[in-house]
Chain A
Amino acid sequence: MKQNHFKLLIAAFVASTVMVGCTKDLDLTPTNDITADQVYSTSAGYKQSLAKIYGAMALTGNAGGAGSPDIPPQIISDEGNSDFLRMWWYLQCLSTDEAGWTYHNNTDPIGIHQMTWSSINQTVAGLYYRCFFQITLANDFIRQASDENLARRGISGASADSIRMYKAEARFLRAFQYANLMDLFANPPFVTEADAIGVGLPQQIKRADLFTYIENELKALETELMAPRTNEYGRADRAAAWALLARIYLNAQVYTGTAKFTEAITYCNKVITAGYTLHPNYRELMLADNHLNTDEFIFTIRYDGTRTQNWGGTTTLTHGPAGVPGSVSGTNGHWGCIRVTEHFVYLFDPSDIRGQFWTTGQNLIMTQLLDVQTDGYSSTKFRNLTRTGGQAPNRDPAGNWVDIDFPLFRLAEIYLIYAESVLRGGTGGSNATALSYLDQLSARGRTPAGSNAQLTLPYIISERGRELFWECFRRTDLVRFGQFTTSAYLWAWKGGIQGGTAVDSKYNIFPIPSTDLSANPNLRQNPGY
């Protein structure tokens, strides 16, 4: 009996020891998803993370088409509307004379063209969160690419050098998105790599302070990024940083109250002397093989019909225009969404080949904004065909997704910044050079009629409209020229009426989304909202 007791006690002891030891079984890890230390163990991993920061501008998520969104449906209900370019285009172009939108389902950009947006507008919130998604990725990448982390992970030599270059590009992309937030939302919250993930409430930054931050970042990056035109196509280089500096200097008076046209000219000159030239044929700018336009393009968002698939971006700009047959756009057909107001059409004279309007079956006058596809001309600027009219190189067999890259910076804009800055009193340039740049653009645009350029502000705002049609500049330009909310320039359905009307000046900037006001008590709403 006693012995049996003893055996039992031993057995019980063994059993209980094993049980306690088993709590280690609670440490489980996913099969295919991996942790930061695994991702960043090699320079290849760093590059795939860098690809996400870039790809966050092109794609809507981690699945081709849709299915794994970066921005959750609570913010924007349709993933296809949640990529950077589509939403940026909505706020920059659809809000102006450049475009109206046919539909008004919850998935569509409601009230943008009529200028009735509020802090609960999905498109407004969507772009805000898209910019911050990219900033958050960049912040994380910058932390992961710190010298301490590289040393800790045993990465050195050439690998470490290329990762430092990636880090500089991440900083550039962050500066680019902060510049967009500064332009659109004026006073966003502010986070850098110094702020840890998942904790803390960011402080709001004033528009002028954000300007200084972006300016300093870009100047610091001037020496860190690759020399112009030496990086892989699709990655940012020094010229991209210069071009962004030129762009924010052009608008500095709007952002800070202080004009910086001299600085704008300085950075235009840096870009121009880097060896870019205008691509000879304007109509080849937005085609399926436009990755070949490295003569003019400084930095692009890249799309690919089979490998970078999503429903936004240039896919929207190709399918969206109403009435354009699939055979013309190089797709499986149009979506009936986008038309152009007659006021924008009036900017072009008939000889201007940049007025790529689709008029068949379309009425010039936008008598009705909603629910009709035929009021207002449409556009064929974006076509998923090659220069020779052939099929897109990485064609999606179903005809949905396109190959057309989108230039965020191209030489034509730099010429226009130069001319306007000279005209507005910046130093370091000359009227003659300014006019010659305008002549080059006008001559290309009016092939074969030839240039009719003038060095005047009214000419420049119109010329920017013609040259940069649907390239996400129009709202910023109209704000700078005092025409966006005022009665100085009216277009169809501005302010919600057919003839157009002035609206409250609060609409010069967008409201902070109510979602973020709810999440972050440090934030104050922009005036008027």
Chain B
Amino acid sequence: MSCKKLLKASVLLTFLLLSLLSYSQDKVITGKVTDSKDGSGIAGVTVTPKGGTGGAQTGSDGSYRISVGPSVTILVFSSVGFVSQEINIDGKSSIDVSLAVNNTSLGEVVVIGYGTTRKKDLTGAIATVTSKDFQKGSITTPEQLIAGKVAGVSIISNGGQPGSGSTIRIRGGSSLNASNDPLIVIDGVPLDNGGISGGNNPLSFINPNDIESFTILKDASAAAIYGTRASNGVIIITTKKGKSDKLRVNFSSVNSVASVTNTVDVLNGDQVRSIVNSLGTSAQKAQLGTENTDWQDQIYQTALASDNNISLTGGIKGLPYRVSIGYLNQEGVLKTDHLEKVSLALVINKIFLDNHLKVDLNLKGAQQKYRFANQGAIGSAVNFDPTKPVYSGKARYGGYFEWLDPNPGNTFGHPWNRAGRNPVAMLEERHDNSDAQRSIGNLQLDYKLHFFPDLRANLNLGYDVSKGTGTIFISDSASLAYADSGVNDHYKQTKSNTILEFYLNYTKDIKSINSRLDVVAGYSYNNYLTTNYNYPSYNARGGKKPNTDPDFPYNKPENTLISYFGRLNYTYNDKYMLTATVRRDGSSRFAPQNRWGTFPSVALAWKINDEDFLKNSRTVSSLKLRLGYGVTGQQDGIGNYDYLSYYALSNASASYTFGNVYYQMFRPGGFYADRKWEETATTNIALDYGFLDNRITGSIDFYLKKTTDLLNSIPQPAGTNFAAYVLANVGSMENKGVEFSINTQPVRNKEVTWDVAFNATYNKNTITQLTIVPDDPNYIGFPSTNISGSQGFAFINAVGGSKNTFYLYHQIYDKNGKPIEGLFEDVNRDGIINENDKYKGKRANPNMFYGFSTSINYKKWSAGLVMRASFNNYIYNNIYSNNGRLNQVLNAYVLGNASVNYLETEFKGNTEQQLLSDYYLQNASFLKMDNLNVGYDFGQVFKNKASLRVNLSVQNVFVITEYTGLDPEISNGVDNNFYPRPRIIALGLNLDF
């Protein structure tokens, strides 16, 4: 830690010294850059002399001052989100410029890792989505803003819980057993992917209203600058900045109503009564009730949410700032689910020393208070006996109906441990409350050397701290933990991540050889420290449960990453571009001999449209060929200390006795000292195009990603290791694919603009090796993803196939097409149905997915929609398999309920093997309309003091699919008690004054 402090001090000292420096220049031009829309000044516009050296940026009010050499004749004004302009100096000493907002989705200046670049200079596969193209409506977690908007990026929400996260996959993900999550960088602070206890989705701490843009680095040539964390792509989030010295206030409020669109089809009380009366024993008939309770109706509710945000932008004494406050109060569609979130953001960006020192301060903080609903109620509501009432009419157990133990003994008349609990009681009687806070911030100093203005020094000091606490309380009178006298458990976790980065950037236009040079060299230090606190368990009466005292009060897992990086951008003749990057990463997660890795990349681009043969084309307005190759790494999902062989102490309840003394045991951990990161080599070939004055733009990318040193858990020769399986770098896998995107503006006139955007992705994943000995016939692959109701698995991950390939038995059907219970094809004809008769079938992941967005503006009206489609993704319907059988109704101890699939199959359910049948595998290709919205711009209201926009949106509008379950979009391919994604109708209003 002291090392880190020294570092900070020394770099600050550098800046102090630099600030003492003085300088002189020869020719000065001043002026102001304004927004063409409203005439307000734009801060942070880059002003560069074309063909000359140096440059300046506009201050908070949009004014700038630049010194240029006598040879310079043109000034270039550029800024993210605006169309760049080139202005002839013509001897003037004052030039005012008005910039128009860029109407294509990709701004001219793009944020990349460690700096920005001009869009036209891009060589890698980079996509940018800015706020105007975000999904609209009640969106409470950032990544949902860009769902369906970018080719090659799949964003699937994890369910309908308030604040729940999403599974984000860029180009299919490059790992099997480790992480497939991309690296996320917010305003220069790389986040660790883990959440915080009690906080659900870590990204939900960022207020979507504060976000200006997303940049997605998809290929290695773009992402390799992030080294060992880049294999799954990088998402750079940039938040909104201070803009001018005129105070502007934005108030937005989105109020929404959410409801489930569908529930699992189960039998009703009458159907259960008829089944029990015809097939049940007399004891079971005696258990029948008289109700027709729809338990799913009982656990879901119409949920209200209100999301209110206010932001102030302006400048105090020339200090531009943006402050925003958000307050979200959201109910879940599952009763008792509730989230209350307060978020705050402060941004200050100041330019000092005549545009030489740029200071950016970003502070973001949020507090989330959750009551987590007991999601076990979702499955319980499907399975609970519908002939029973919700309430017993008696006071005990909270008044809820429960199955009581009928057997004589000490637990007679208590909630029966052989029966499930009342789903409503599961929700109402469990109080799982958390309070989680997170703050992310950084101070970025960007200094352009006075005596050498081509050189820029950038220091970034950042932090990401969070704290989560919570309690789980169940009263001693509740049925849920009656035998334990209730529950009163406490948990706490803190995280403290720090980052220091320093880089130098040298930019030079060398006119004599028609070249432009942009070089970055830097250093980065990241430290991730978590503290997990351990507590004993208590019952609701305050009594400590025996043997629950933790051995250690806390555990502090930590890892550090130290990196050196460099990038060279070379442009020749404004037509040919070369980008080369290198990063050298050292990670504390690996043994000293494997600690350091080097990740290079190179990319070339050719602006074909600037060649003579296309220069004057009216059809082709831009055409760029890009070629890139690079190597990235992946170290998430690898334990912090796995390379050490260490000894873990057993729990008190796992002691061994010698004589009369209990000894807690020391167990050595598995040993694999040579473990290293996974490495992915990506080749990317792409064409960016623009036709008809760029009214049609887009790109097509072909990529091939080869991951080697894939971490696979492989068996150790017996007797050679403390663990029978260890995670070793043995496998390889490839993803190849095509991404296509097109953005058009079919109509563009004074009254109407119509934008259409479409993207398509094809990805094929193939596992190419998994064992030390290639193609080992003894190794069939490893299974994954448990099927509920059995001990079996849904998938096999095997060489030659793709990850998450279903591995099930061939169901045999009778002549009427009805599946025969327990009868499967004996694939190897050995007379027995066992593991060897499963076959490798369909895949859970789609090989093609599409996104479609369109918006139309007519006068003051606007309307838009977002649709997504996915093909060749399959789902195993675990609700059908686990609940579609008679013994779910005629349970051994109490009555239950079954899926309507039982009416089709009439399965008894006595064989667990039946659950591993391909009968339950269904094509889940779908077309979904995510969002449909209509807006009206009232323009100036309140005596021209404010402008008002309102927006009505519907999310989750419709789904077209053959899949019979609740939702065809299940990221892990096994549909089992999924928290339904609600349909949300939201009314938003936006007031600027």
Contact = CB atoms under 8 A, between A and B. Distances in A.
Given A28-B588, A198-B720, A518-B776, A309 B409 contact: no
A184 to B, nearest CB: 13
Interface residues of B, number: 92
A517 B778 contact: yes
Interface in B663-678: 663-669, 671-673
A232 B658 contact: yes
Interface in A102-141: 104-107, 116, 120, 128-129, 132-133, 135-137, 139-140
Given A49-B666, A198-B645, 10 more contacts: A25-B525, A58-B656, A62-B650, A200-B717, A232-B659, A235-B658, A304-B657, A306-B547, A515-B715, A518-B771
Contacts of B666: 39, 45, 48-49, 51-52
B721 A198 contact: yes
Interface in A4-30: 4-5, 7-8, 11-12, 14-15, 18-19, 21-30
Contact of A307 (B552, B655, B792): B655
Which 6 A-B pairs have CB atoms at the shortest separation, nearest pair first?
A64-B653, A55-B656, A518-B778, A191-B719, A106-B791, A520-B717
B773 A521 contact: yes
Contact of A516 (B656, B718, B782): B718
Interface string B851-878: 0000000000000000000000000000
Q: Which of A28, A47, A133 has the most CB of B within 10 A?
A: A28
Nearest to B546: A306
A59 B778 CA distance: 30
Q: Which of A35, A51, A140, A306 has the most CB of B within 10 A?
A: A51
Contacts of A425: none
B715 A1 contact: no
Q: Which of B595, B665, B782, B835 has the most CB of A within 10 A?
A: B665
Given A14-B13, A51-B656, A107-B791, A25 B7 contact: no
B720 A22 contact: no
A62 B645 CA distance: 16
A65 interface: yes
Interface stretch (B14-22, B92-100, B731-739, B748-756): B14-22
Interface stretch (B298-306, B557-565, B953-961): B557-565
B573 interface: no
Interface stretch (B117-125, B377-385, B722-730): B722-730
B972 interface: no
Nearest to A5: B451
A32 interface: yes
A488 interface: no
Interface of A: 1, 4-5, 7-8, 11-12, 14-15, 18-19, 21-36, 38-39, 45, 47-49, 51-52, 54-55, 58-59, 61-65, 68, 70-72, 74-75, 77-78, 104-107, 116, 120, 128-129, 132-133, 135-137, 139-140, 188-191, 195, 197-202, 232-235, 302, 304, 306-310, 326-327, 371, 397-398, 514-521
B597 to A, nearest CB: 12
A106 B547 CA distance: 31
Contacts of B721: 136, 197-198
Contacts of B483: 398
B354 interface: no
B13 A36 contact: no
B554 interface: yes
A306 B527 CA distance: 41
20 contacts: A28-B588, A28-B640, A32-B648, A36-B668, A52-B666, A54-B656, A55-B656, A68-B648, A75-B725, A129-B724, A132-B724, A190-B719, A202-B717, A202-B718, A234-B657, A308-B653, A308-B656, A309-B654, A327-B409, A519-B717
Interface of B: 3-4, 6-7, 10-11, 13-14, 17-18, 20-22, 409, 451, 483, 502, 523, 525, 527, 546-547, 551-552, 554-560, 562, 586-588, 592, 595, 640-641, 644-659, 662-669, 671-673, 713-725, 771, 773, 776, 778-779, 782, 790-792, 832, 835, 910, 912
A31 B557 contact: yes
A4 B20 contact: yes
A409 B429 CA distance: 51
B547 A307 contact: yes
A31 B722 contact: no
Contacts of A308: 653-657
B715 A26 contact: no
A243 to B, nearest CB: 19
A200 B586 contact: no
A140 B722 contact: yes
Given A19-B7, A521-B773, A63 B791 contact: no
Contacts of B650: 52, 55, 59, 61-63, 68
A382 to B, nearest CB: 18
Contacts of B13: 11, 14
Contacts of B654: 55, 59, 61-64, 68, 308-310
B790 to A, nearest CB: 7
Q: Which of A25, A199, A234, A516 has the most CB of B within 10 A?
A: A25
Nearest to A234: B658
A233 B659 contact: yes
B658 A202 contact: no
A78 B792 CA distance: 11
B519 to A, nearest CB: 16
Contacts of B773: 521
A52 B665 contact: yes
A32 B720 contact: no
A261 B93 CA distance: 114
A48 B720 contact: no
A325 B250 CA distance: 71
A54 B655 CA distance: 10
Given A29-B641, A49-B666, A517-B778, A23 B724 contact: no
B409 A191 contact: no
B720 A26 contact: no
B720 to A, nearest CB: 6
B718 A128 contact: yes
Nearest to B3: A22
Contacts of B523: 19
B17 A11 contact: yes
A198 B653 contact: no
A398 B411 CA distance: 11
Given A63-B651, A200-B720, A306-B653, A49 B665 contact: yes
B662 A48 contact: no
A35 B17 contact: no
A482 B262 CA distance: 64
A14 B9 CA distance: 10
Nearest to B836: A120
Contacts of A71: 724
Contacts of A201: 717, 720
Nearest to A516: B718
B648 A33 contact: yes
Given A105-B790, A195-B719, A14 B658 contact: no
Contacts of A139: 719
Given A18-B7, A39-B647, A39-B666, A199 B720 contact: yes
Contact of A12 (B14, B663, B718): B14
A106 B792 contact: yes
A102 to B, nearest CB: 12
B720 A191 contact: yes
Nearest to A12: B14
Contacts of B782: 74
Contacts of B658: 47, 51, 54, 232-235
A314 B132 CA distance: 67
A62 B587 CA distance: 29
A307 B641 contact: no
A230 to B, nearest CB: 12
A35 B560 contact: no
Given A74-B782, A306-B547, A15 B14 contact: yes
A9 B720 CA distance: 54
B595 A74 contact: no
